[in-house]
Amino acid sequence: MALVLYSSNGTESTAARTPILAGRFIRCALLMLSVLSASMSMPAVSQEKPVPPQKASDTPAPLIVAPSPPASAATPSSPASAPASGAKESGPAKQTADTPPVEKPKSIALILPLSSKSLGKAAEAAKAGFLAAAELNGKAQFEARVYLADDEATSMALLYRKAVTDGAVAIVAGLTRDGATIVAREAGFLPTLALNTPADLSSADANSFFHITLSLDWDARLAARAAAAEGFRNVAIVASNASLAKRIQEAFEKEWLKLGGTVATRIVFSGDLDDGPKVRTAMEKPDAAKADVVFLAADMSVARFARPFLPQGLPVYATAQTFDPRAGAVENLDLDSVKYPEIPWFAERDHTAVMAYARPQDGLPTEYERLYALGIDAWRIVYALVGTPNVGQTKTAGAGVVVSTALVRSNAKQPFAPIDGVTGRITLDGNQFLRALPLLEMRDGRPQVAKPAE
């Protein structure tokens, strides 16, 4: 490149122009370098049409199924306030698909005269057995809810209605005959079990009301059947003057005649010392001599005194009234060879169904311990009526709450599987639960099973 210089008079001089041109060249080169550097740092620009940004309402938040919030809780007023996907919410935990639903609790009501002065101890015994059975079986499905009644009349009727309002799925009540009668009148669509036999069943719902009893009347009928099954046909009845003994005698005799048997003689024995020889004399009369079996209706003290005056070798039947299951061998020797039906709770202590339940801790009297056993079977019966074989069978009722889909067996016409209960082998006949009992025979002062329950 030629270097041109300008002189002072304006004429161009090659020597003068050389530094000027060099400076311009350098500035031009620096400018080109800065432009090139800026172009390399800029991002590439797509030739496609750019996508406009989405609005907040175009991206919905995930759906969370949960119970409705309380009325005081703030409610979002616009979609924009909903949490974005993946956002963590604050406040109470929400019900999600991975969280198991909360099952709605169900209860079985037990209404007993626990506040009654006359019936309170008996009611406590039945309640203790009922709760012992509930603790062992079914508590995952039902809770036992106890209602304290003052009596077996107005108080119980009011509590029955309250239990229905509280949402019970079944009710157990009616410890006495009068109480069972009131329960039969109150019973509606809800499965109800009375712990005694009502005096009147005409007003009870045939599909929802049931009853079971520990009445010795039933034991007397079983004794009559056992004697008839052995082939005996002519009975001599020896009974005390006590009202309970008379009732037992009446029940036995009614069943005996129904089975085709005859009554050779009826002898009243009070337990006095002078009555012993009278029994022997009465049994020697021609009509009494035809008897091939004896039925004894008396408590243990009277029966022990009467037994030695009966003819030797003549079979004798009785009920559990005549025996104390806690009596020793010496006390029972006078009653040797006597046969009687007894509940498995006392007769078969080594039976699996009996061993499963704890014995009362406070040493209940025998009559109360029988009610304890009845309480156990009452829970088992009701659980069989309303329980579901498969606890997991449920359906969602809404708002994360589930209810059982099991069909409630509340109809007396539906089949009922027998239960090996602690008060007998339990079957359903119409609306009454019947108890088949093992037959015991006293041998050397010890009760032995002569015939199992059938």
Mean of per-residue pLDDT scores for the chain: 78
pLDDT the model gives residue 315: 96
pLDDT the model gives residue 220: 98
The mean pLDDT value for 332-350 works out to 95
Higher pLDDT, 415 or 421: 421
Amino acid symbol at 257: L
pLDDT the model gives residue 363: 77
pLDDT the model gives residue 415: 72
**Dist CA 180 CA 339 (whole Å):** 31
The mean pLDDT value for 260-285 works out to 91
Is the confidence at residue 6, as pLDDT, over 60? no
Q: What band does 272 get if pLDDT is binned at 50, 70 and 90?
A: confident
pLDDT the model gives residue 44: 38
Residues 451, 441: contact at Cβ < 8 Å?
Answer: no
Amino acid symbol at 151: D
Q: Is 77 helix (H, G, I), strand (E, B) or coil?
A: coil
Phi, psi of 422 (to 5 degrees): -85, -10
Hey, which residues does 402 pair with through a beta bridge?
Answer: 103, 396
| Lowest-confidence region among 57-66, 126-135, 284-293, 339-348 | 57-66
**Dist CA 117 CA 203 (whole Å):** 29
Q: By percentage, how much of the chain surpasses pLDDT 90? A: 59
Q: By percentage, how much of the chain surpasses pLDDT 70? A: 70
Is the confidence at residue 69, as pLDDT, over 80? no
Q: What band does 95 get if pLDDT is binned at 50, 70 and 90?
A: very low
The mean pLDDT value for 74-103 works out to 43
Higher pLDDT, 388 or 269: 269
**Dist CA 452 CA 433 (whole Å):** 19
Q: What are the CA-CA distances from residue 310 to residues 4, 261, 265, 279, 281 (Å)?
A: 165, 20, 13, 7, 10
Length of the chain: 454
pLDDT in tens, 186-231: 988 899 999 999 988 776 666 789 999 999 999 999 999 999 999 9
Q: What band does 61 get if pLDDT is binned at 50, 70 and 90?
A: very low
Residues 278, 247: contact at Cβ < 8 Å?
Answer: no
pLDDT in tens, 135-162: 998 888 899 999 999 999 999 999 999 9
pLDDT in tens, 25-54: 545 455 555 544 444 444 433 333 333 444
pLDDT the model gives residue 78: 39
The mean pLDDT value for 365-391 works out to 88
Higher pLDDT, 200 or 130: 130
Identify the structural domains of the chain with CATH numbers, from first to last. Answer: 105-214+348-435 (3.40.50.2300), 216-342 (3.40.50.2300)
pTM of the entire predicted model: 0.73
pLDDT the model gives residue 400: 33
